[in-house]
Chain A
Amino acid sequence: MIRGTNHLWLLTLLSLALILAACGGRQQNANVSSEAPGEMTIYVSTDRVFSEPILKAYEQKTGVKVNAVYDTEETKSTGLANRLLAEKNNSQADVFWSNEPVRTLVLKKRGVLAPYKSPAANGIPAAFKDAEGYWTGFSARMRVLVYNTKLVKPEEAPQSVFDLADPKWKGQVAIADPRFGTMSFHSAALYAELGDQRADEFFRKLKANDVHVVAANSVVLDMVARGEAKIGLTDTDDVNVALEDKQPVAMIFPDRNGLGVPIMPNMVSLIAGAPHAEAAKKLIDYLLSPDVERLLAQSEAVQVPLHEGVEPPKNIPAINSFKPMTLDYGKAADRVEDVTRRLQSILGL
Chain B
Amino acid sequence: MGAAINNTAILRRTPFLPSVRTLTIGIAAILFVMLCALPTIYMFVVSFINADGSFSFANYRLLLTESRQRELLLTSIQLGTGTAVLATAIGVPLGMLLARADLPAKRFLRVALIVPLVLPSYMLALAWIYVGGSAGLAAQLIGRDLLSRWTYSLTGAILVLGLSLYPLSMLATEAAARRVEASLEEAALLVAGPRRTMWSITLPLIAPSIAGAALLTFVLALSEFSVPAVLRVGVFTTEVFTAFAALYDFGAATARATPMLALALIAGVVVNLVVGDRWLTSLRSTRTGLPLPLGSWRAFAIAGSAIVLAFAVVLPLVVLALEAGRLSRITTALSASLQAITNSLLLAVIGATLILVLGLALGYGRGRARTRLKELVDLGFIIVFAVPSTVVGVGLIGLWNRSGWPGHVYSSAAIIVIAYLARFVPVAALILAASVRQIPKSFEESAELSGASWLRVFFRIVLPQMKTGLAAAWVVAFIFAFGELGATVLVAPPGESTLPVRVYTLIANTRSSEVAALALMQALVILIPLALLGTLASNGGKR
Binding site for B on A (CB under 8 A): 2, 5-6, 9, 12-13, 16, 19-20, 23-24, 26-28, 31, 41-42, 47-49, 67-79, 81-83, 85-87, 89-90, 92-93, 106, 110, 179-180, 184, 213-218, 222-223, 226-228, 237-238, 241, 245, 336-337, 340, 344, 349
User: Is B250 an interface residue when CB atoms closer than 8 A count as contact?
Assistant: yes
- A9 and B248 CA atoms in complex are apart in Å by 45
Given A67-B494, A227-B135, does the pair A215, B148 have CB atoms closer than 8 Å?
no
* Given A6-B459, A86-B398, A184-B246, residue A49 in contact with residue B506 (CB < 8 A): yes
CA A68 – CA B246 in complex, angstroms?
23
State the B residues within 8 Å of A (CB). 68, 122, 133-135, 148, 226, 229-230, 232, 234, 241-242, 244-248, 250, 346, 349-350, 353-354, 357, 390, 394, 397-398, 401-403, 407-414, 417, 459-460, 463-464, 485-486, 489-490, 492-495, 497, 504-506, 508-512
Residues of chain B with a CB closer than 8 A to A227's CB: 135
Q: Which of B134, B485, B509 has the most CB of A within 10 A?
A: B509
Residue from B414, B505, B510, B512 within 8 A of A71 (CB atoms): B505
Q: Which of A49, A89, A93, A214 contacts B402 (CB 8 A)?
A: A89
Shortest CB-to-CB span from B265 to chain A, Å, is: 25
B353 contact from A12, A344, A349, Cβ within 8 A: A12
* Nearest CB on A from B178, distance (A): 22
Q: Which of A28, A180, A214, A241 contacts B245 (CB 8 A)?
A: A180
Asked, given contacts A23-B413, A215-B230, A349-B234, whether A77 binds B246 with beta carbons under 8 Å apart, the answer is no
A349 vs B235: C-alpha distance when bound (angstroms): 11
A228 and B135 in contact, given A24-B412, A71-B489, A349-B234 (Cβ under 8 angstroms): yes
The CA-CA distance from A228 to B403 in the complex, in Å, is 52
With both beta carbons as reference points, the residue of chain A lying nearest to B486 in the complex is identified as A77
Q: Are A79 and B408 in contact (CB under 8 A)?
A: no
Could you tell me if B485 and A90 are in contact, using CB atoms closer than 8 angstroms?
no
A340 to B247, CA, bound (A): 8
Does the CB pair B246–A20 fall under 8 Å? no
Q: Are A76 and B229 in contact (CB under 8 A)?
A: yes
Do A76 and B133 touch (CB < 8 A)? no
Candidates A68, A69, A73, A214; contact of B232 at CB < 8 Å? A214
Known contacts A13-B353, A78-B390, A226-B133, A179 near B246 by CB under 8 Å: yes
Given contacts A6-B459, A6-B460, A24-B413, contact A72 B508 (CB under 8 A): yes
Chain A residues with Cβ below 8 Å from B489 are 71, 77
Residue pair B505, A67 in contact (C-beta under 8 Å): no
Q: Which residue of B lies closest to A20 (CB)?
A: B350
How many Å from the CB of A13 to the closest CB on chain B? 7
Chain B nearest CB from A23 CB (Å) reads: 5
Chain B interface, DSSP helix/strand/loop, else mixed: helix
Q: A90-B403, A90-B407 are in contact. Are A41 and B494 (CB under 8 A)?
A: yes
* Contact between A86 and B250, CB atoms less than 8 A apart: yes
User: For B234, B414, B490, which residue has the most chain A Cβ atoms within 10 angstroms?
Assistant: B490
Given A75-B241, A76-B504, A82-B244, answer yes or no on A31-B412 (Cβ-Cβ < 8 Å): yes
Complex: how many Å from CA A238 to CA B509? 6
Residues of A within 8 A of B409 (CB): 24
| A90 near B402: Cβ-Cβ < 8 Å | yes
**What 3 pairs across the A-B complex have the smallest Cβ distances?**
A27-B412, A67-B494, A226-B135
Q: Within the assembled complex, what's the spacing in Å between the Cα atoms of A223 and B230?
A: 13
Checking A86, A215, A340 against B394 with a beta-carbon cut-off of 8 angstroms, the contacting residue is A86
Contact check, B494 vs A340: say whether CB atoms are below 8 A apart. Answer: no
In the complex the two chains form, what is the Cα distance from A27 to B412 in whole Å?
A: 5
Contact A78 B510 (CB under 8 A): no
User: Given A16-B354, A24-B414, list of 5 further CB < 8 A pairs?
Assistant: A20-B354, A23-B412, A23-B414, A86-B394, A214-B232
User: CB-CB < 8 A to B460: which residues of A?
Assistant: 2, 6
User: Can you report 11 residue pairs joining A to B where beta carbons are below 8 Å apart?
Assistant: A6-B464, A19-B350, A76-B504, A81-B248, A86-B401, A90-B402, A92-B494, A179-B246, A228-B148, A340-B242, A340-B247
Q: Which residue of A lies closest to B225 (CB)?
A: A76
The CA-CA distance from A31 to B419 in the complex, in Å, is: 20
Report Cα–Cα, A21/B148, bound state, in Å. Answer: 51
Bound state CA distance, A180 and B242, in angstroms?
8
B212 shortest CB reach to chain A, Å: 26
Tell me which of B230, B390, B494 has the highest count of chain A C-beta atoms within 10 A of its own C-beta: B494
Q: In the complex, are the beta carbons of A218 and B508 less than 8 A apart?
A: yes
Task: List, in ascending order, chain A residues with CB within 8 A of B241's CB.
Answer: 75, 78
Say yes or no: A16 contacts B509, CB within 8 Å. no
Query: CA–CA, A24 to B417, complex, Å?
Result: 10
A31 neighbours in B (Cβ, 8 Å):
408, 411-412
A144 to chain B, nearest CB (A): 14
Q: Given B354, B408, B413, B511, which contacts A245 in the complex, CB threshold below 8 Å? A: B511
Cβ contact of A68, chosen from B244, B410, B417, B495, cutoff 8 A = B495
Q: Which residues on the B side are within 8 Å of A82 (C-beta)?
A: 244-245, 248, 250, 390, 394, 490
Alpha-carbon separation in the docked complex, A3 to B246 (Å): 56
Q: Which residue of B lies closest to A78 (CB)?
A: B244
In the bound complex, residues from chain A placing their C-beta under 8 Å from that of B350 are 16, 19-20, 23
A180–B246 touching, CB < 8 Å:
yes
By the criterion CB–CB under 8 Å, are A90 and B412 in contact?
no
A contact residues around B402 at 8 Å (CB): 89-90
Q: Is the CB of A27 within 8 A of B148?
A: no
| Contact B413–A75 (Cβ < 8 Å) | no
- What chain B residues lie within 8 Å of A226 (beta carbons)? 133-135
Q: Are A110 and B504 in contact (CB under 8 A)?
A: no
Q: From A76, which residue of chain B is reached at the shortest CB distance?
A: B504
Q: Which of A12, A27, A78, A337 contacts B414 (CB 8 A)?
A: A27
**Which chain B residue has the least Cβ–Cβ distance from A9?**
B463
B232 CB to nearest A CB, Å: 7
Question: Of A19, A26, A72, which one neighbours B505 at CB under 8 angstroms?
Answer: A72
In the complex, which residue of chain A has the Cβ closest to the Cβ of B347? A23
> How many whole Å from B335's CB to the nearest CB in chain A?
16
Query: CA–CA, A245 to B354, complex, Å?
Result: 46
Contact yes or no, A78 B490, CB < 8 A:
yes
Q: Give the residues in chain B near A85, CB-CB below 8 Å.
A: 248, 250
- Asked if A106 meets B248 with Cβ closer than 8 Å, knowing A83-B490, A213-B232, A245-B511, the reply is yes
A6 touches B463 (CB 8 A): yes
| Complex contacts, B349 vs chain A, CB 8 Å | 16
B394 / chain A contacts, CB cutoff of 8 Å: 82, 86
B464 proximity list for chain A (CB < 8 A): 2, 5-6
A179 to B234, CA, bound (A): 13
Write out the residue numbers on chain B whose beta carbons fall within 8 Å of the beta carbon of A41.
494
Known: A74-B508, A215-B232, A241-B511. A179 touches B398 (CB 8 A): no
What chain A residues lie within 8 Å of B412 (beta carbons)?
23-24, 26-28, 31
Q: How far is the CA of A337 from the CA of B248 in the complex (A)?
A: 9
Q: Give Cα A73 to B245, complex, Å.
A: 8
Q: How far is the CB of A61 from chain B (nearest CB, A)?
A: 19
The reply to whether A27 and B413 contact each other, CB–CB distance below 8 Å, is yes
A92 cross-chain contacts in B, Cβ below 8 A: 401, 410-411, 494
Contacts of B417 in A (CB 8 A): 20
Q: Which residues of A contact B232 (CB under 8 A)?
A: 213-215
In-complex Cβ contact of A228 among B134, B407, B459, B506 (8 A): B134
Task: Tell whether, in the assembled complex, residue B509 and residue A75 are in contact, meaning their CB atoms are under 8 Å apart.
Answer: no
Residue from B68, B346, B494, B511 within 8 A of A69 (CB atoms)? B494
